[in-house]
Structure 1
Amino acid sequence: MNGDRDAFRRYDAAALNAQYIARDAVPAFGAYAKRWQETSAKAVDDLPCKLDIAFGESAAETLDIFPALDGGPAPVLVFYHGGYWRSADKAWFRFLARPFVERGVTVVLPNYGLCPAVTMDEIAGQCRRSFEWIWLNAASFGGDEARLFVSGHSAGGQIAAMLLADDWSGLGSRSGFPIKGVTAVSGLFDLEPIRLTSLNDDLRMDKAAARRNSPVDRPLPASSPPIIAAVGALESDEFRRQNRLYGAHAEASAVDCTVLEVAGHHHYSILDAMANPRHPFGRMVLNQIGAA
């Protein structure tokens, strides 16, 4: 794995920025963001939901709940948004709830503080609190705490992987490890190359912080659930390498991990595939939850 892990060192600073700053690589990003927000507003109008529920003390620590349309107790899909830990908001991604709630899955979208107002370590703590709150309160919103699945896009993929590697023994789960499956979409699993880009002006990671927050540097639990690690086939070499790297990390721990490149999709359109129950990737996520 080390050889592949060091592959980013062949890039100079400008080339490394080009590999990782996805918004520059996809000129249509603005159109995607606009559509996400419009379809998310319609989801709020059309679907039962509870918005901006506090799970922590800071103003950023809130989450949205979209209950399964056929009642509960239902499996729960938790989705953490991307934006390089420094931008975007859960409200942009409420559109993802529709295909899942229509198939008997409750969807929860947490927010977290953004850099540089908070550090990467603080984000990790906030996201841990959000998952713990969801697990403890699942029954109150029709969810089944024995069927919690974690997902995330881009920076959210890193968050999902960090939660998987966390120690949940203190929860006292009677159904085993509390996370029953993970879907990491275009995730970032080794943060050392990100530390060397201009993104780090906001993230402010030193080498130690990058290592602490790199899922490939954290052992996976012995009882790890299945993982889906997906990336768009049209994404940069580095995003695709990051996906392979996490797959290799899972394989080294004998964890069931499906590594795939979603044909015809880039860093943003891949969410369309995830939200499409007729797309092979969308079906794969539903199958993991047991809702296909």
Structure 2
Amino acid sequence: MTTPVPDVPDVVVVAGPGLVADLRLLSEIAEREFAALGVRGRMAAAAGAAEVEALLASPEVPVVLPGPDPGVRALVSRHPRAVWLDLHPVADPAGPEHLHGRGVGGLAWAVRRAVHRLRWPARRVAYGPHPDQWAEVRPAREAAGPAPVAAVLHGGYWRSVWGADLMDALCADLAGRGLAVWNLEYRRPDRHGWAATTEDVAAGIALAAGEASGPLVVIGHSAGGQLALRAAADDDRVSLAVSLAGVLDLVEGDRRRLSAGAVAAALGGPAEEAPEVYARSSPLERLPLKVPQLVVQGGGDDPDLVDLGRRYARAARAAGDDVTYLEMSGDHFDVIDPASPIWRATAGVIADRVRGGPRRR
């Protein structure tokens, strides 16, 4: 597939006054992202609010690390094109363009967000009243006939510092391959509880299904892989469920304390204290799902995730499900990187399945 890449204005990364971070390191991270994304950019350190305001008025796309100054933060919050990054978690993020809690490495995601939202614009659709209940919809480009619909679920071990921006590049790639893409945000359980998360995923998928004229594919990465397969078990409109490095055995994931106990934190307690919740939520416990599945795993990922993926695929086949297991070289994020061999192979399998492959039983 060859899709023209639209031009994006130059990017300026602004370090606000009082920011606690090494500016050289920030510049190195930004330069790597500029090169990878094929854009021009620069780093600018601002001594005060007036300098920040001048930089925001430039034609460049601003990515701002505002630091603690209230005046600077107010300026950034009002700017319609700015993506802003707090290195530490914040209690009340300002919206989808406010990334937080990812440390210095979060600058890479902030630059990607700034570029992708301009390069491949999306339509924002709300499916509920809460600020986290929305989807970014990208129509299929050059689809032949009714376009398959992909509902995409980000990961992040169900924690609120991670959001739908993780899937921007993958969603743009899928749209270029002829799928209409719904990148779903949802309330995370660390702030809203497990029931809110599962309700939001179901509601978002239902909205995407309601607009589908072709097959419905649900795709999830990491913790989103668990959410995708669990949702597919509950929704008979799903034609294909795809797990990308998913957490597919929650009971064992809890026992091994994946990501410092992320499973128990998300589900409200360990498996032995909430067996009904785990039985409803863990894809392994829900077998057979009775929907075709694609389970993708990078061989260089966390060995526990490789183990969970392999064991899940064997168990699903033994239960009678139609499962394709794809393991190739790659790490946890290669599976959502459009430039990686493992994603290109994944996209090929998805295309084959949604265009005439077997449907759910």
Which TM bucket (shorter chain)? 0.7 to 0.9
- Does residue 262 of structure 2 align to residue 199 of structure 1? yes
1:116-161 deviation digits (Å, cap 9, x = unpaired): 212223311211111111112x1xxxx42x4110101000000111
Aligned residue type for 1:262:
M
Separation in 1 of the partners of 2:180 and 2:220? 15
For 1:206, the aligned partner's letter is: P
Q: Evaluate the alpha carbon distance shift between residue 81 and residue 275 of structure 1 in structure 2; reply closer, same or farther with a 3 A threshold.
A: farther
Q: How many angstroms apart in 1 are the aligned matches of 2:118 and 2:238?
A: 30
Superposition map of 1:75-94 within 5 A: 75-87=148-160, 88-94=162-168
Deviation, 1:34, is 4.1
Identify the residue that residue 48 of structure 2 maps to in structure 1.
Answer: none
Find the counterpart in structure 2 of residue 25 from structure 1. Answer: none
Amino acid at match of 2:327: E
Once the two structures are superposed, the pairs formed by residues 143-154 of structure 1 within 5 Å of their partners are 143-144=212-213, 146-154=214-222
- For residues 278 and 245 of structure 1, the distance between their equivalents in structure 2, rounded to whole angstroms, comes to 21
TM superposition shift of 1:80: 0.2
Q: Which has the higher contact order (CA 8 A, sep 6+)?
A: 1
User: Which residue of structure 2 aligns with residue 251 of structure 1?
Assistant: 317
Match of 1:17 in 2: none
Secondary structure of the corresponding residue to residue 181 of structure 1: strand
Which residue is 1:3 aligned to? Answer: none
Which among 217, 224, 248 is matched to residue 189 of structure 1? 248
Paired residue secondary structure (2:297): strand
**For 2:215, what is the secondary structure of its paired residue?**
strand
Once the two structures are TM-superposed, the CA of residue 31 in structure 1 deviates from its matched residue by: 8.3
Pick the structure with greater CA Rg: 2
For 1:57 and 1:253, the matched residues in 2 are separated by 39
8 Å CA contact 2:167–2:336 kept in 1: the answer is: no
What's the CA shift for 1:73?
3.6
Question: Does the alignment pair 1:270 with 2:316?
Answer: no
CA contact (8 A) 2:169 2:338 kept: no
Letter in 2 for 1:236: D
2-structure distance, mates of 1:218, 1:69: 35
The two structures have a TM-score, normalised by structure 2, of 0.61
Q: Distance in 2 between matches of 1:274 and 1:252?
A: 34
CA contact (8 A) 2:328 2:342 kept: no
Whether contact under 8 Å (1:99, 1:277) holds in the other structure is: no
1:107 aligns with 2:181: yes
Bigger drift between 111-120 and 203-212 goes to 203-212
Residues 107 and 36 (structure 1 numbering): CA distance in 2 closer, same or farther, change over 3 Å? farther
SS of residue matched to 1:122 = helix
Alignment of 1:56-95 (within 5 A): 56-70=128-142, 73-87=146-160, 88-95=162-169
Q: 1:91 Cα shift?
A: 2.2
- List alignment gaps of at least 5 residues for structure 2: 1-101, 357-361
1:158 counterpart residue number: 226
Change (3 A) 1:251 1:274: farther
* Identical pairs, percent: 23
Q: Which letter maps to 2:141?
A: L
The root-mean-square deviation of aligned C-alpha atoms, in Å, is: 2.6
CA distance in 1, matches of 2:109, 2:300: 20
Inter-partner Cα distance in structure 2 for 1:187 and 1:60: 22
Q: Does 1:41 align with 2:106?
A: no
